[in-house]
């Protein structure tokens, strides 16, 4: 089960996040979202738990929990909507197309 983890400290790293979630269950992967230019954390990421039961347990145990000075938001990650990466939104395409 893939979980969204928000409101992370900009100092949080993958290792500390993995340790936090490992206290609840088996962690399959951890991915912090970073700024492409600076490499700075954007304050959110994704944790994949081994199964749905462990994912739900992690949500229950860690949502709104204080971690590194911040109150976490933990919930099931929603699938990424088509066109939601970078400048590929329909509004962005319309603006670009209007120039041609």
- Which structural domains are found in the chain, ordered by start? 2-77 (3.30.70.330)
Burial tier of 27 (Cβ tally within 10 Å: 0-12, 13-18, 19+):
buried
Dihedral Cα 31, 36, 39, 43, nearest 10 deg: -50
User: What is the model's pTM?
Assistant: 0.79
Write out the two tokens for 95. Answer: 């603006």
Q: Is the pLDDT of residue 43 over 50?
A: yes
User: For 61-89, how does the pLDDT look when each residue is reduced to its tens digit (9 = 90+)?
Assistant: 999 999 999 999 999 999 887 765 555 44
Write out the two tokens for 9. Answer: 């400290």
Write out the two tokens for 82. Answer: 């088509």
């Amino acid at each position: 089960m893939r979980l969204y983890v928000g409101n992370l400290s900009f100092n949080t790293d993958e290792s500390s996040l993995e340790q936090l979630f490992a206290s609840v269950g088996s962690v399959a992967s951890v991915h912090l979202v970073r700024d492409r230019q600076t490499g700075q954390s954007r304050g959110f990421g994704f944790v994949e738990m081994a199964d749905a039961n462990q994912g739900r347990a992690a949500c229950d145990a860690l949502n709104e929990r204080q971690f590194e000075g911040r109150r976490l938001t933990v919930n099931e990650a929603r699938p990424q909507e088509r066109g939601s990466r970078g400048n590929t939104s329909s509004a962005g395409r319309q603006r670009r197309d209007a120039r041609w």
